[in-house]
C-alpha cells in the first residue's frame, strides 16, 4: 500500500503516529540531529542527513536499568526492572541504519540467548525507513555501498518513506507496516506516478555512489587474519588514535556494554552502560592484567571484530558503512581507508 | 558484608540530656550491616568496655562504632578494647556526639537528629575500614632539652639520672634562665640562687649531659624516635676547652655593654661571664660591644690570656645530634611596657619593671641589695601595679599568674629593706597555691596598702617634680585616688619568647592565641604536643611559677623517657601508599610533600612512599589526579562514604 | 516546616576539629545543621569531595583548617588554600551560589570562632534556600 | 539614700537589649573610672554606672548624664567593653521613662521639631553663606556637610566660612547641603533617643542617595564619627583637617602669612582623635604655618582630655569646678600658648564659654585650625589673631 | 602570514627528513594526510621516507604534543607545534612527563587555522590565540609580528555577565548531553592519567552512566585537574561529538588561575604548576 502526505504536513503525520504508540524520530539539537522520543509533533524534522548517534539507542539505550535494590537487604528483596513492551514507532531511519538492526538482532536474540529488553522493544516497534536524498551526493565519510546497502533499500523497514518534491511517499513493506498505515487518517492515496517514482527510487538507490571498494566478506576476513601480527600495519593505522569511545558510541552495530552498580543513599541500581573496546580499561581484568594495553591492539580488535571475527562467527560483516565513526573521530581515523589498505595488503 | 556493633554512650547526662540515646541505638540497628546496637551510661567505664569486648566475641563483630565523646578524648581507650578482643584497632570508629552534638545544643530533637546523621556517616565509612598495622621503628635512646632555665635544667638532670644521654641546648652563654635573676622565691622567701646554682653545677658535672650553650637549633628532621637536629654553635671567640676561667680578660677589657642579667641597670664588659655563678664559668665575647670587632684594634684580652684561648677568627659551626625525644623549655619574655604609655615606663626613671626590681633586691645586683632609686635615694612611697599588659584585650588577654604572688613578695621585701609606704593596685589577688593565701595574709598584716582598682595613669607630680602621681579609682570606695609615690613597680605580662613562632615551626608545634606552645590536651596531655616525641615544660606552655615549672619538667622528662626507654616504637599506621597500577607518574605527590616522603621510581615509572617519613596528612592523596595514592584510614572511598552517610538524613 | 539546611563540614584534625571540640567543651551553642567529617589536614580535601557533597544534597559546605602558617603539616593548608580557591571559582562558574562554599581558618583555641562561623554560615545558607542545582534528584 | 538595694535584672536585660550587651563583659577593675576625666572632679563614676546597669539598681538615673562619651575608657578597657554603648543604652532605657533632664529637653525638642539642636529656622540653615557658596548637585566632588553648629552658632559660622573659602582655594568642586537636610543626630543618639535619631538618619540618607553623594567633608568630628560608625552606609567621609593637610603636602595650598612666633597648642577633639583616630593632620597643618611655635599639652593625642561637650554635654549645665573645659584652658595656658587650636565646633563652643567665664578671653584665643590656615593664606574673613594677643 | 601553508609543509618535511636521517630523533610528530583535504590527521614519521607523508594546511587543528607521553621516557622525539601546542610541550616539561633534552621542537608561527566541522577560525576563540610558539628549537616559517587583538579570555565576557541561574542552566544543558565517550580527555595533551579518576572503581567518584550527575562530576573534576595546566588548545571541544563548549570553562579557570597566582600554563619551563605550589604571599582574598 502506498500513501502520501506532504512535508508541510509532517507534524500531522507525526501526531497521527503518536496516537499509535511512542514516536521516536529525528529532531534537531545543538549538536546535530538525534533520535528522540517525540512529545511535540512539530519537533520532528526530516531535513537531516543522518543522526549523530545511531538509532540503536532506541532498542539498546546507553543506560539500561536491570535491578533496583537496597544495600544491606537480602537479595530476595531486590526488584527487577521489567522490559518495556509499549508500542513504538521508529521514524525516519536511513536504510544503512535499518540494516544494522538485523545485525544487532544476531547478538540480542538471534543466537538463542534473548535479551528481553532489546527483544521487547524490537517486537513492539514499527520501523519507518527513509531513503537518502538521491539528488545530493553522499557524504565523504559514507561507504554503505561497499557493504552492499542501497541508499533507498526498503528491506527491514515496516514502512519505507521516499521524498518526492514536497511529497512524502509511504509504502508498507510488512504486514505490521500495512496495518499501521491502514489505521492512520490524514493520508492521501498515491497515484500510479507516485508508485513508479517509489520503485525507481529504490532501484536508483542501489546504484547510488558512496565510497566503494570491493570487499568480499571471506576475502577481508582472510586478509585481516594474515595481517594480525603485522604490528607495523596496525601501528600506522592507530598512530593518531586517541582511544576515545566516539566511534563505538556512534556506531549502529557496536553493542558492548558494562554492567555496574550505582548506589546513592543505600538505594542501588544495577544497570548496563555502553562500553567501548577502545577504552583502556575495557579489557582490564580483576587481577590487574590487561591484555590490550596498546592503542594498536585495541584498534586492531575493533576492525577485526567487525570485518573478521564477526564474519567467521555469524557470516556477515558487522558494519553498515554509515560513516559515523569516521565523521565523529576527533583525529579523522577512517575505517574505510583501513579496510581498503587491508584489502591491498 | 561487615558485622558492625554500635555502642551509644550516655556519658551520664552529658549526652543523654540532649540526645535520645536509646532512640539512637534503635536507629543504628536499622542500618545496613549493624548486627548489634546498644546504649550504656558510661561506655568508657570498665563495665562499658567489657560490654564491647563481650559483644565483639558474641556477635563476631568485625567493626566497632562507639558513639560518645570526641575521638581526641577516648579513641585510644577504645582502640585498646578492640586490640584486646583480637580485632584490629583501626576497625574502630568514634562518633563525636558529645563535644559536637550534645554540648552545643539544648534541643533534644535537633541533637538526636544530628547524632543520627553522624552515626549514619560512621556506619557508611566503617564498612570500608581496613585493618592497619603499625610500623615499628628503632628508637634513639638520647634526648634533647631545649632551654637551660629551671625547667630545662630539671628535665635534663632527671633524664641524665636515669642514664640517658641528654643534650641541653641553651641560646645564652650560661644556663640558669630567669630564675638566676630572682632574689627570693615566694612564698617561702628562700634565696633563688641558693636553690638554683647547685642544680646548674650538677648539669655541668653530669657525665650524661652534654651542655651546649650559645647554641640554637637550626633544623629539625626526622620524627619521633629518630630526630636529626642540626645545632648552630654561635661563635664565642673564646676556646672553652683552653680557657681556665681565670677571667683576667674580663678585667682588662675596655668594651662595655649593658648587663642582661642585671636588666640593663648596670654595665658589663665586652668579654664577660653573665654573672658570677654562670655555668659554664667561661667568658664569651659580645661582638657588638667588642672594641676589636668595632674598630679593628685592641685585642687586650688576647694579650692577657695565658691559655691562648681567645680566637677572633672563630665562626659559627653546625653539628647534628640524633635523639629520640625532645623537651622544649624555652621560657618566656617579659612584655615591653614602653608601649603602654599611660604607665610612663622608659619615660619616668621612677618606673621599674618587675625583673629590674628583682635585681635591686639582690645582693649581687647593681645596688648590692639596697633598694634605691636611680638617683641613689631611698623611695618613701612605692606603688606596685598589677596586671600590666595581662588580662587586657588591648595587649595580652591571659593572666600571667605569678604577678600577684611576686608583687606580694616585693611588698614584703620593700617593707623589709626600706621604710617606704607600699601600695598594691590590683584587680583581683590570685593566691591559689600551697601556702600562698597564708603569704597574702602575712603581707596584709605587714601593713601593705591594698587598693582595688587598676591604675589608669602614672604622671609626673606637679607639686613635687621628683615624684610621681599614680591615678586610679579605689573601686571599693568609688573615690578617685591621686597618690604621690617615688617608685612605681610594674608587673608586666609574661609573654612567649619573641622567637617562639620559629621554634614552633622547627618542631611542628601549634601555638595558642597568645603564642604559647599548645599542649596536645589541656588536661590529659598537658606536656605532650601535636608533634609526637616533642614535649613542653615551663612557661613556654603558659605562665606558671617555679614549683609548677619544676613539676612539669619532671613530668616531661618522664614522658620523654617513655619513648626512649624502648628500643622500638610503634607509629600510627595511617600513612599513605601508592597503587602503582593507577599512578600516572605526574609526580605531584613528590612536588608537594612537606616531608619528602614520596619519591619517583624512574625505572618503574611510578611514585613510591618512604613510609618512615610519612606523617599521614593526605595532601599527596588529594593532589593525585588518578587517585593512585591511598591515604590509609582516610581513603577517598571512606571519606565519600562518610559524606554520603552524613547527607542521607 | 522551615528550611533546615544540611551543611557538610570538613575539618582538619589538629585545628578546626579540635576547635569544634572546644566549642563543645565551653558549651557554646550553634545550629545543628552542620555535620563534620574529620580529615587529618585541610590539604587532604580532594576538590571532588566538595563537588560530591553538593551532589549528595549538601546545601552548604564549610571547610576548616589551621591558620596559614600554623598548619600541623607546615604547608598543607597553603596548598589547600589554592586548590579550594579554584574549587570555589569552578562552582561559581558552573552556576552555584558561591556563598554555599566557605573556607575558614579556625585554630584549636578558637572554639568561639567555630561556633560563630557555623552560626553565621548556617544563617547564610538558610537565606540562600535549598541547594537544588547539583543535588542528584 | 538607703544602703540596701535589690537587683532588678529585667532592667539590666533591657539595657543589654538596647545595645548595652557589653555590660556582661565588665569585671569592675576600675580602669575606666581611673581613666575617666570626670572621676576626679564630679560624682559621676562610669564604673559605678556600669555596675548599677549590671544589677539594674535604682539610682542609676542620678549619674547617667555625666558621661561626655570621650572614649578614653573604651580605649583602655582591658575587657574590650564598649562603655559608650552602655551609656547610650542606659540613657535610652531610662529617658524613655521621661527622665530627660530639663537642660536637654530644649535640645531634643528642637531636633524633633526643627531638625537642628539650636532651635534654628530650618529654612535659614544656609543663611550664613549669604548665597556666596554653591549648593551640592550630583556630579560634584564633595558634599561639604555643614554641621548645625556652624550654621546657626554665630561664633562657629566663621569656621563654616573659613572652610568654604579654603575649599574654593583648593579648586575642588563642592557644595553645601540644601536646607532640607537635618542634624546628623550624633549627640541625640548619645543622649539615648534612638528613635528620633533613626528618623534624622533616614532623612539624611535619603538626601545622600537622591543627590548621588559619594564623598563627604565634615568640619565637625561628631558628624564624621556618626556617618562612619552609625549610618551603616558606605560613604567616603573625611574630616576637613585631613584634606587640608593633604593639600598642603601636595602644594595645593601654601601658607604664607608669618605669625611671628605665636605659640599655639592643640586640643584633640575626642571625636576626631579617639573616635576617628585622626591625630596628625591638624598638627601637620599647625606645623606648616610660618612663624607658629607649636607646643603640646601634657595630655595629648591618645591621652587627650575631653572638653566636656560630647554626649549631650554641650547642652548640659555644669557647676563651676565641674567643667572639663575650664581645666583644659588652664592646661593650655600652662604651656604658654596664646592660641588654643582645635578642630571641632563643640570644643570651640565649650572653650569660648570657659575662656569667658574664667575671664581669660583676653589672654588666650580659641581657634579652629581651619581658621588659622585661612588666615595664613591671607584671606581675611576675620580679625587677625596677632593684634588681639598683643597683651 | 609571510609564509604560506605550502612553504611550512615543505620546511616541515625537510626538517623531519634531516632529523630522522641524522638519527637525532627516532620519530617526528606532525600532521599527515587524512581521508580528504579537509581532514588531515596526526601523523608519526619514523623513517626519512615517512617525511613525505607530512601535511600542513589550514585544517591542522590537532595538537601533536598530545602524543608525546605515548612513547617511552627517553625516546628522542621531534614535535611540530603551533603556538598553543608549544605551551602543551612546555607544560609537559614542567610536569616532568617529557625531558627537554629528549625533544626537538619544531615551532610553527601560524594563524588562520580552521575547524573543518564549522569552517570557523580557531585562533583566539577556542584556542589561546597566540601566533608564535613559546618554545622551539627550529622555527618553521617566520615569527608573526604583533599580538592578537583581543584577549583569549574575551569570549568569556558574555558568560561571566550571565546571571548565575542562567549560567547554571547553560552548563546543565551543555553537560547533560555528554555521552561520556571521553574524547575530550583523550584529545587533551595534559590528560595523561591512565586510569582517569572517573574510571576508578575505588573510589567511584561519579556515576559511570551518561546521566547528569556523573557528567557533572566528571567535567567539574576534570576542570579542576586542568586548572593552571590547560594550555587552551581547544582540542577537547573540537573532539566532542556533541559540541560541548568545554573550552569556555577551561578558559575561565585558566583566567582565574592567572589572576590569582600570576602565572599562565605552559609559558615557561621554569614554572611549577600552580596547584602543586604556593607562595607565602598568597592571600585569603582568593577564597572570597
pLDDT of B361-394, one tens digit each?
999 899 999 999 999 999 999 999 999 999 999 9
C-alpha cell of residue B603: 625505572
* Backbone φ and ψ of C37, nearest 5°: -100, 135
Domain end among D53, D71, D95: D95
Of the pLDDT bands very low, low, confident and very high (cuts 50, 70, 90), residue D320 is confident
Q: Which residue, D92, D315, D90, D106, is CA-closest to D192?
A: D92
Integer-rounded Cα Rg, in Å, for chain A is 21
- Predicted local confidence at residue D385, as pLDDT: 42
Looking at the domain assignment, is residue D3 inside a domain? no
Contact list, E39 vs chain A (CB under 8 Å): 332
User: Bigger pLDDT: B224 or B606?
Assistant: B606
Domains of chain B, first to last:
4-134 (3.40.50.960), 145-228+318-331+497-564 (3.50.50.60), 248-304 (no CATH), 334-495 (3.50.50.60), 576-631 (3.30.70.20)
Question: Could you report the per-residue pLDDT of B558-578, keeping only the tens digit for each?
Answer: 999 999 999 888 777 899 999
| Stretch among A26-40, B325-339, B511-525, E222-236 having the lowest mean pLDDT | B511-525
Check E278 against C48: CB less than 8 A apart.
no
Looking at the domain assignment, is residue D4 inside a domain? no
Burial class (CB in 10 A: 0-12, 13-18, 19+), C129: exposed
CA distance B101 to chain C (A): 7
Looking at the domain assignment, is residue D200 inside a domain? yes
Number of domains in chain D: 3
Question: Could you report the per-residue pLDDT of A76-96, keeping only the tens digit for each?
Answer: 899 999 998 899 999 999 999
Q: Is the same domain home to D262 and D238?
A: no
Among A73, A265, A288, the residue with its CB nearest the CB of B644 is A265
Helix (H, G, I), strand (E, B) or coil at B168: strand
CA E235 to mean position of chain CA atoms: 6
Give the separation between CA A341 and CA B397, rounded to whole angstroms: 84
C-alpha cell of residue D17: 537589649
Q: Is B587 on the interface with E (CB under 8 A)?
A: yes
Give the separation between CA E118 and CA D75, rounded to whole angstroms: 70
Cα angle, residue B183 at apex, residues B178 and B184 outer, rounded to 5°:
110
Residue linked to cell 575617666: D36
Helix (H, G, I), strand (E, B) or coil at A137: coil
Question: Could you report the per-residue pLDDT of B491-532, keeping only the tens digit for each?
Answer: 999 999 999 999 998 887 888 889 999 887 777 789 998 788
Helix extents (H) in chain A: 10-20, 56-59, 95-105, 116-124, 175-182, 192-207, 217-227, 231-238, 246-250, 295-304, 310-314, 324-328, 335-344
For residues B462-489, give the mean pLDDT: 92
For residues A239-252, give the mean pLDDT: 94
Residue linked to cell 597574702: B440
Domain end among D212, D244, D276: D244
Q: Does residue A103 carry a pLDDT above 60?
A: yes
For residues B191-220, give the mean pLDDT: 95
Burial class (CB in 10 A: 0-12, 13-18, 19+), B131: exposed
Chains that touch E (3 or more CB pairs under 8 A): A, B, C
Distances from the Cα of A191 to the Cα of A132, A158, A159, A160, A205, angstroms: 22, 21, 18, 16, 21
Please, which residues have CB within 8 angstroms of residue E259's CB and are 6 or more apart in sequence? none
The answer to whether the CB of C74 falls within 8 A of the CB of C113 is no
Distances from the Cα of E88 to the Cα of B297, E231, E247, E250, E267, angstroms: 63, 6, 15, 14, 9
For residues C98-104, give the mean pLDDT: 95
Q: Is B538 left (phi over 0), alpha (psi -120 to 50) or beta?
A: left
Q: Is the same domain home to D208 and D311?
A: no
Check B591 against E277: CB less than 8 A apart.
yes
Specify the CATH number for the domain of residue D17.
1.10.1060.10
C-alpha cell of residue E130: 597566540
Dihedral angle, C-alpha A327, A332, A334, A335, nearest 10 °: -80
Q: Does residue B407 carry a pLDDT above 70?
A: yes
CA distance E43 to chain B (A): 25
| Side-chain half-sphere exposure of B545, counting CA atoms within 13 A | 19
Give the separation between CA A338 and CA A336, rounded to whole angstroms: 5
The answer to whether the CB of E183 falls within 8 A of the CB of E239 is yes
Q: Is the same domain home to D233 and D260?
A: no
- Predicted local confidence at residue E2, as pLDDT: 67
Instruction: Check residue B180 and report its DSSP letter.
Output: G
Contact list, A265 vs chain B (CB under 8 Å): 644, 647-648
Of the pLDDT bands very low, low, confident and very high (cuts 50, 70, 90), residue E119 is confident
Of the pLDDT bands very low, low, confident and very high (cuts 50, 70, 90), residue D6 is confident
Q: Which residue, B328, B42, B509, B433, is CA-closest to C108?
A: B509
- Predicted local confidence at residue B205, as pLDDT: 94
Sheet of strand B92-96, all strands in order from the earlier edge strand to the far edge:
B34-40, B4-9, B63-68, B92-96
CA A307 to mean position of chain CA atoms: 17
Instruction: Check residue B32 and report its DSSP letter.
Output: T
Contact list, B474 vs chain D (CB under 8 Å): 30
C-alpha cell of residue A40: 511535540
Q: Is E56 on the interface with C (CB under 8 A)?
A: no
Contact list, B619 vs chain C (CB under 8 Å): 41, 43-44, 73, 76, 79-80
Residues above pLDDT 70, as percent of chain B: 100
Q: Does residue E130 carry a pLDDT above 90?
A: no
Q: Does residue A142 carry a pLDDT above 60?
A: yes
Give the separation between CA B345 and CA B197, rounded to whole angstroms: 32
Amino acid at each position: 500500500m502506498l500513501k502520501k502526505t506532504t512535508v508541510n504536513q509532517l507534524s500531522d503525520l507525526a501526531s497521527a503516529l503518536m496516537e499509535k504508540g511512542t514516536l521516536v524520530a529525528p529532531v534537531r539539537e545543538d549538536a546535530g540531529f538525534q533520535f528522540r522520543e517525540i512529545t511535540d509533533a512539530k519537533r520532528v524534522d526530516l531535513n537531516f542527513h543522518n543522526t549523530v548517534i545511531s538509532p540503536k539507542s532506541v532498542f539498546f539505550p546507553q543506560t539500561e536499568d536491570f535491578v533496583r535494590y537496597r544495600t544491606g537487604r537480602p537479595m530476595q528483596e531486590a526488584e527487577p526492572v521489567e522490559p518495556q513492551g509499549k508500542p513504538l514507532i521508529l521514524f525516519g531511519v536511513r536504510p544503512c541504519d535499518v540494516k544494522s538492526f538485523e545485525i544487532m538482532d544476531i547478538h540480542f536474540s538471534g543466537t538463542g540467548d534473548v535479551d528481553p529488553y532489546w527483544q521487547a522493544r524490537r517486537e513492539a516497534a514499527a520501523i519507518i525507513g527513509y531513503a537518502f536524498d538521491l539528488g545530493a551526493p553522499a557524504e565523504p565519510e559514507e561507504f554503505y555501498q561497499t557493504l552492499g546497502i542501497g541508499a533507498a533499500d526498503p528491506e527491514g523497514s515496516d514502512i519505507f518513506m521516499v521524498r518526492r518534491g514536497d511529497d512524502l511517499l509511504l509504502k508498507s513493506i510488512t504486514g505490521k507496516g500495512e496495518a499501521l498505515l491502514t489505521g492512520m487518517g490524514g493520508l492521501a492515496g498515491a497515484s500510479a506516478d507516485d508508485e513508479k517514482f517509489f520503485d525507481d527510487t529504490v532501484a536508483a538507490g542501489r546504484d547510488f555512489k558512496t565510497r566503494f571498494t570491493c570487499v568480499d566478506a571471506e576475502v577481508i576476513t582472510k586478509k585481516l587474519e594474515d595481517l594480525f601480527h603485522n604490528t607495523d600495519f596496525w601501528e600506522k593505522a592507530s598512530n593518531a588514535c586517541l582511544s576515545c569511545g566516539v566511534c563505538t558510541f556512534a556506531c549502529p552495530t557496536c553493542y558492548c556494554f558494562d554492567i555496574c552498580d550505582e548506589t546513592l543513599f543505600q538505594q542501588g541500581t544495577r544497570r548496563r552502560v555502553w562500553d567501548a573496546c577502545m577504552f583502556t580499561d575495557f579489557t582490564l581484568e580483576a587481577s590487574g592484567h590487561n591484555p590490550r594495553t596498546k592503542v594498536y591492539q585495541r584498534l586492531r580488535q575493533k576492525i577485526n571484530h567487525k570485518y573478521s571475527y564477526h564474519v567467521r562467527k555469524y557470516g556477515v560483516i558487522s558494519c553498515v558503512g554509515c560513516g559515523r565513526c569516521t565523521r565523529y573521530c576527533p583525529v579523522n581515523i577512517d575505517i574505510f581507508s583501513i579496510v581498503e589498505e587491508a584489502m591491498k595488503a | 558484608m561487615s558485622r558492625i556493633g554500635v555502642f551509644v554512650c550516655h556519658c551520664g547526662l552529658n549526652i543523654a540530656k540532649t540526645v535520645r540515646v536509646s532512640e539512637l541505638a534503635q536507629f543504628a540497628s536499622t542500618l545496613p550491616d549493624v548486627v548489634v546496637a546498644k546504649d550504656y551510661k558510661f561506655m568508657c567505664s570498665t563495665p562499658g568496655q567489657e560490654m564491647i569486648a563481650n559483644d565483639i566475641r558474641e556477635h563476631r563483630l568485625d567493626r566497632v562504632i562507639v558513639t560518645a565523646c570526641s575521638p581526641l578524648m577516648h579513641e585510644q581507650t577504645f582502640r585498646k578494647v578492640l586490640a584486646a578482643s583480637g580485632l584490629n584497632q583501626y576497625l574502630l570508629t568514634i562518633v563525636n556526639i558529645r563535644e559536637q552534638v550534645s554540648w552545643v545544643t539544648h534541643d533534644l530533637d535537633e541533637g538526636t537528629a544530628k547524632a543520627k546523621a553522624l552515626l549514619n556517616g560512621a556506619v557508611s565509612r566503617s564498612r570500608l575500614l581496613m585493618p592497619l598495622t603499625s610500623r615499628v621503628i628503632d628508637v634513639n635512646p638520647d634526648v634533647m632539652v631545649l632551654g637551660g632555665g629551671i625547667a630545662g635544667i630539671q628535665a635534663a638532670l632527671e633524664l641524665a639520672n636515669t642514664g640517658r644521654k641528654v643534650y641541653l641546648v641553651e641560646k645564652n652563654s650560661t644556663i640558669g634562665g630567669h630564675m638566676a635573676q630572682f632574689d627570693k622565691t615566694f612564698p617561702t622567701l628562700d634565696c633563688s640562687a641558693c636553690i638554683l646554682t647547685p642544680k646548674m653545677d650538677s648539669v655541668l658535672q653530669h657525665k650524661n649531659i652534654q651542655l651546649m650553650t650559645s647554641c640554637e637549633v637550626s633544623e629539625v628532621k626526622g620524627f619521633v624516635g629518630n630526630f636529626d637536629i642540626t645545632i648552630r654553635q654561635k661563635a664565642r671567640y673564646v676556646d672553652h676547652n683552653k680557657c681556665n676561667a681565670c677571667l683576667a680578660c674580663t678585667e682588662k677589657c675596655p668594651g662595655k655593654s649593658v648587663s642582661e642579667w642585671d636588666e640593663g641597670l648596670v654595665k658589663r664588659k665586652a668579654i664577660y661571664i653573665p654573672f658570677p655563678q654562670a655555668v659554664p664559668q667561661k667568658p664569651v665575647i659580645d661582638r657588638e660591644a667588642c672594641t676589636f670587632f668595632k674598630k679593628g684594634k685592641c685585642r687586650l684580652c688576647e694579650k692577657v690570656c695565658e691559655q691562648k684561648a681567645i680566637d677572633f677568627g672563630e665562626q659559627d659551626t653546625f653539628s647534628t645530634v640524633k635523639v629520640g625525644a625532645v623537651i622544649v623549655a624555652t621560657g618566656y619574655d617579659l612584655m615591653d611596657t614602653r608601649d603602654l604609655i599611660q604607665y610612663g615606663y622608659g619615660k619616668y626613671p621612677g618606673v621599674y619593671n618587675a625583673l629590674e626590681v628583682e635585681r635591686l633586691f639582690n645582693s649581687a645586683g647593681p645596688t648590692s641589695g639596697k633598694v634605691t632609686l636611680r638617683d641613689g635615694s631611698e623611695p618613701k612611697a612605692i606603688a606596685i601595679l598589677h596586671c600590666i599588659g595581662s588580662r587586657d584585650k588591648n595587649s595580652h588577654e591571659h593572666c600571667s599568674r605569678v604577678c600577684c604572688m611576686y608583687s606580694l613578695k616585693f611588698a614584703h621585701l620593700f617593707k623589709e629593706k626600706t621604710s617606704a609606704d607600699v601600695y598594691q593596685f590590683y584587680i583581683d589577688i590570685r593566691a591559689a597555691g600551697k601556702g600562698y593565701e597564708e603569704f597574702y595574709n602575712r603581707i596584709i598584716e605587714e601593713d601593705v596598702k591594698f587598693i582595688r582598682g587598676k591604675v589608669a595613669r602614672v604622671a609626673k607630680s606637679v607639686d613635687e617634680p621628683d615624684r610621681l602621681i599614680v591615678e586610679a579609682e579605689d573601686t571599693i570606695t568609688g573615690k578617685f585616688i591621686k597618690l604621690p609615690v617615688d617608685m612605681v613597680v610594674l608587673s608586666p605580662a609574661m609573654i612567649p619568647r619573641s622567637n617562639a613562632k620559629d621554634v614552633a615551626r622547627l618542631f611542628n608545634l601549634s601555638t595558642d592565641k597568645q603564642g604559647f606552645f599548645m599542649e596536645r590536651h589541656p588536661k590529659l596531655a598537658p606536656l605532650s604536643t601535636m608533634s609526637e616525641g616533642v614535649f613542653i615544660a615551663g612557661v613556654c606552655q603558659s605562665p606558671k611559677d617555679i614549683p609548677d615549672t619544676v613539676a612539669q619538667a619532671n613530668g616531661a622528662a618522664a614522658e620523654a623517657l617513655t619513648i626512649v626507654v624502648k628500643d622500638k616504637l610503634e607509629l600510627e599506621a595511617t600513612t599513605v601508599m601508592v597503587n602503582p597500577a593507577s599512578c600516572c607518574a605526574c609526580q605531584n605527590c613528590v612536588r608537594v610533600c612537606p616531608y619528602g616522603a614520596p619519591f619517583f621510581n624512574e625505572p618503574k615509572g611510578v611514585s613510591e612512599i618512604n613510609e618512615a617519613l610519612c606523617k599521614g596528612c593526605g595532601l599527596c592523596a588529594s593532589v593525585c589526579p588518578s587517585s593512585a595514592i591511598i591515604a590509609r584510614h582516610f581513603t577517598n572511598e571512606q571519606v565519600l562514604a562518610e559524606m554520603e552517610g552524613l547527607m542521607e538524613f | 516546616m522551615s528550611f533546615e539546611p544540611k551543611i557538610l563540614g570538613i575539618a582538619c584534625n589538629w585545628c578546626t576539629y579540635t576547635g569544634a571540640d572546644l566549642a563543645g567543651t565551653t558549651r557554646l551553642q550553634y545550629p545543628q545543621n552542620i555535620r563534620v567529617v574529620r580529615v587529618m589536614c585541610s590539604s587532604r580535601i580532594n576538590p571532588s569531595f566538595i563537588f560530591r557533597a553538593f551532589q549528595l544534597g549538601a546545601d552548604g559546605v564549610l571547610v576548616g583548617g589551621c591558620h596559614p602558617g600554623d598548619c600541623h603539616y607546615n604547608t598543607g593548608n597553603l596548598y589547600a588554600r589554592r586548590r579550594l580557591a579554584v574549587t570555589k571559582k569552578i562552582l561559581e562558574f558552573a552556576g552555584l551560589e558561591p556563598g554555599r562554599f566557605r573556607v575558614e581558618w579556625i585554630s584549636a583555641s578558637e572554639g568561639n570562632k567555630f561556633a560563630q562561623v557555623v552560626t553565621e554560615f548556617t544563617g547564610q545558607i538558610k537565606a540562600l534556600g535549598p541547594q537544588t542545582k547539583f543535588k542528584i534528584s | 539614700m538607703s544602703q540596701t538595694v535589690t537587683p532588678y535584672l529585667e532592667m539590666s536585660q533591657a539595657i543589654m537589649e538596647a545595645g548595652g550587651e557589653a555590660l556582661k563583659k565588665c569585671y569592675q577593675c576600675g580602669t575606666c573610672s581611673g581613666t575617666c576625666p570626670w572621676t576626679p572632679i564630679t560624682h559621676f563614676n562610669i564604673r559605678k554606672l556600669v555596675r548599677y546597669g549590671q544589677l539594674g539598681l535604682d539610682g542609676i538615673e542620678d549619674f547617667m548624664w555625666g558621661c561626655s562619651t570621650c572614649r578614653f575608657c573604651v580605649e583602655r578597657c582591658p575587657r574590650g567593653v564598649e562603655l559608650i554603648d552602655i551609656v547610650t543604652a542606659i540613657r535610652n532605657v531610662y529617658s524613655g521613662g521621661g527622665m530627660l533632664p530639663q537642660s536637654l529637653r530644649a535640645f531634643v525638642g528642637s531636633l524633633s521639631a526643627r531638625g537642628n539642636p539650636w532651635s534654628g529656622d530650618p529654612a535659614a540653615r544656609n543663611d550664613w553663606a549669604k548665597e556666596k557658596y554653591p549648593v551640592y548637585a550630583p556630579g560634584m566632588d564633595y558634599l561639604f556637610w555643614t554641621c548645625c553648629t556652624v550654621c546657626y552658632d554665630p561664633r562657629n559660622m566663621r569656621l563654616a566660612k573659613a572652610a568654604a573659602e579654603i575649599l574654593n582655594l583648593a579648586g575642588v568642586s563642592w557644595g553645601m547641603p540644601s536646607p532640607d537636610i537635618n542634624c546628623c543626630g550624633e549627640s541625640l543618639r548619645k543622649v539615648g533617643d534612638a528613635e528620633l535619631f533613626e528618623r534624622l538618619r533616614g532623612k539624611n540618607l535619603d538626601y545622600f542617595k537622591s543627590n548621588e553623594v559619594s564623598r563627604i567633608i565634615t568640619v565637625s568630628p561628631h558628624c564624621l564619627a556618626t556617618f562612619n560608625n552609625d549610618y551603616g552606609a558606605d560613604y567616603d567621609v573625611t574630616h576637613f583637617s585631613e584634606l587640608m593637610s593633604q593639600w598642603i603636602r601636595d602644594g595645593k595650598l601654601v601658607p604664607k602669612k608669618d605669625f611671628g612666633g605665636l605659640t599655639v597648642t592643640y586640643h584633640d577633639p575626642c571625636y576626631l582623635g579617639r573616635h576617628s583616630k585622626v591625630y596628625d593632620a591638624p598638627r601637620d597643618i599647625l606645623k606648616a604655618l610660618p612663624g607658629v611655635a607649636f607646643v603640646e599639652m601634657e595630655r595629648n593625642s591618645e591621652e587627650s582630655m575631653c572638653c566636656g561637650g560630647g554626649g549631650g554635654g554641650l547642652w548640659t549645665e555644669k557647676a563651676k569646678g565641674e567643667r572639663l573645659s575650664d581645666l583644659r584652658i588652664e592646661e593650655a595656658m600652662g604651656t604658654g600658648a596664646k592660641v588654643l587650636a582645635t578642630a571641632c565646633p563643640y570644643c570651640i563652643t565649650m572653650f569660648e564659654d570657659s575662656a569667658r567665664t574664667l575671664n581669660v578671653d583676653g589672654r588666650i584665643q580659641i581657634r579652629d585650625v581651619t581658621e588659622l590656615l585661612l588666615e595664613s593664606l591671607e584671606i581675611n574673613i576675620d580679625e587677625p589673631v596677632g593684634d588681639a594677643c598683643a597683651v | 602570514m609571510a609564509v604560506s601553508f605550502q612553504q611550512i609543509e615543505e620546511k616541515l618535511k625537510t626538517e623531519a627528513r634531516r632529523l630522522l636521517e641524522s638519527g637525532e630523533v627516532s620519530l617526528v610528530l606532525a600532521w599527515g594526510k587524512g581521508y580528504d583535504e579537509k581532514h588531515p590527521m596526526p601523523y608519526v614519521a619514523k623513517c626519512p621516507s615517512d617525511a613525505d607523508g607530512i601535511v600542513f594546511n589550514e585544517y591542522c587543528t590537532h595538537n601533536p604534543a598530545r602524543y608525546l607521553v605515548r612513547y617511552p621516557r627517553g625516546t628522542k622525539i621531534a614535535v611540530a607545534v603551533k603556538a598553543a601546542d608549544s605551551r602543551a610541550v612546555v607544560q609537559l616539561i614542567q610536569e616532568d612527563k617529557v625531558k627537554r633534552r629528549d625533544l626537538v621542537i619544531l615551532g610553527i608561527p601560524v594563524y588562520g587555522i580552521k575547524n573543518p566541522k564549522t569552517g570557523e577560525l580557531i585562533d583566539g576563540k577556542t584556542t589561546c590565540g597566540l601566533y608564535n610558539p613559546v618554545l622551539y628549537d627550529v622555527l618553521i616559517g617566520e615569527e608573526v609580528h604583533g599580538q592578537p587583538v583581543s584577549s583569549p579570555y574575551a569570549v568569556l565576557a558574555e558568560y561571566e555577565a550571565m546571571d548565575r541561574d542562567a549560567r547554571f542552566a547553560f552548563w546543565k544543558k551543555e553537560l547533560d548531553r555528554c555521552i561520556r565517550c571521553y574524547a575530550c580527555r583523550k584529545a587533551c595533551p595534559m590528560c595523561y592519567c591512565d586510569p582517569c579518576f572517573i574510571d576508578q572503581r575505588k573510589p567511584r567518584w561519579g556515576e559511570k552512566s551518561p546521566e547528569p550527575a556523573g557528567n557533572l562530576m566528571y567535567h567539574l573534576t576534570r576542570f579542576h585537574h586542568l586548572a593552571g595546566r590547560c594550555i587552551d588548545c581547544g582540542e577537547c571541544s573540537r573532539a566532542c561529538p556533541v559540541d560541548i563548549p568545554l573550552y569556555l570553562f577551561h578558559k575561565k579557570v585558566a583566567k582565574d588561575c592567572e589572576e590569582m597566582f600570576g602565572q599562565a600554563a605552559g609559558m615557561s619551563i621554569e614554572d611549577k604548576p600552580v596547584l602543586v605550589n604556593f607562595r607565602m604571599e598568597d592571600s585569603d582574598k582568593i577564597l572570597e
